[in-house]
Structure 1
């Protein structure tokens, strides 16, 4: 169960922001929380940090930026030493801005929007790669595969608009064209007509999961006119088991971004096994992001204490082994927060004939 009370003198409390109810991506939130909780449990079983147990105070953001801001305010009042988590980029941005205003360290686990704050801040660090890096990698993958007529089915949000901008700039620089098809007034069958009109060879899903993503895939797969079109999902919808459950064989051969190497090292493999047991299914890279978040915060507290300013000042000095590689934070031109620049990026897909299995289709970088 999520903790609701502030820690005692025997505990060090960390706030956790996680989407656990709709319209949030609940499956992603469940995996993120599992990773956070597993790391806390293992650290506490080994004696805690500085003789104190870690305690998570979990708050559900439900993909709502206003709820996230209210949660940051509440957690700050409750005396947490730092905040961890969040999956949705727009929500994480709201939380990061508020954490910066309050002087509260925030280690963002999973959100990728390049600019999490308006101005450079010492208070916020991030484990996931900035969207520009990941989505440019995806655009390069499409270009190498010879695709030059790409269509995007998009919904309205800062995150999706940013994705369209990144893809268009990178693809057009390589001689391709990109058609942005807004789903605000289209149903999936109308989208199929638009794909024919644009003569697209690839459709990218920049839409929510499960809907309308699931309905779009079913409509495209069942339209005989589109038998040769490829579908892609740079936002990572196929990473989660729900995708295969809802789509069956139609879930396969849809390349997506995942932020983990093709093969985990011994630490990553051990944690992956433990998370599989905890979740009852294959853990996503989001679960590994959650685990790594607590590993980093524990190292910061172990080395620099529980003072909020000391934790924020520690980001550039942190070096720790995570489940997906050696973690260090740097300043980068694209972002306003401390960034793990070494996070691996892989393009993968669910395997045709065995969609329960995920295979790499492009080298991790």
Structure 2
């Protein structure tokens, strides 16, 4: 496996391969850029097909975290951890403690939080071996992540649909986890029409009972004739096959790495679909965690969340000005911030 020649390698400062035979831990920790501050990013556990898929994921996610923090105005760099294994069957206290030791060995260059496959109880176990982990109240960032996505969606709707409110806007949400549930709640409260799906029927039933959303099968959700498609599950769903079939005018969701390849950014533009880059709009989580960790008040946190609207508008304007994809526009804005800091 060649790291330096990998297509997702982007000048990463450090990539650590972790193996612990006694617990079965196999993980990769990637620190992308620490120009602005220590690397911060969540721990993701998935049953990856192979180590190559895991490496591609951690390289892309850590780079996204660098850009996310830069655009959010946070003094943080980007990092990420992926753990190879099914969280439902392979996760044990021994494995989590071994991961905690690995994170601690980095000496504070990386601070970890929750991501897919990790919950509050898991973070408590990891914290037995390291202090460089967000847990408790600081780990519950779903409401603020959802709020950031919602603010970006409002901006996209104003630009693409020329509508000043979300009332009557049709939104299809893929995945109904913590963040997506809060997003759906914001949408429903403002009069939007929400249809959702999830592979977990219990999660979907809760959304129907408490929010009154409509439901469809996971196979249908991507291609519904709606105003906004909100991917809130796993990434790489926007590709050569899916993009030509998407009927939504806007794609704006919380999932990371929604583009299968960088070139799909321009393909979305060619299909007249306004794509809101995921790392730019789902920054509410890291804003929330950073503010709580630093002891900043709610007013400061709300002001930083509100900046996501401004950043979203800057991305749209730059993409239109240069006739480029919005992901590339977001990359350029983030790189300008990092270069200025260097």
Q: Which has the higher contact order (CA 8 A, sep 6+)?
A: 1
Q: Give the structure with higher Rg (CA).
A: 1
TM-score with structure 1 setting the length: 0.46
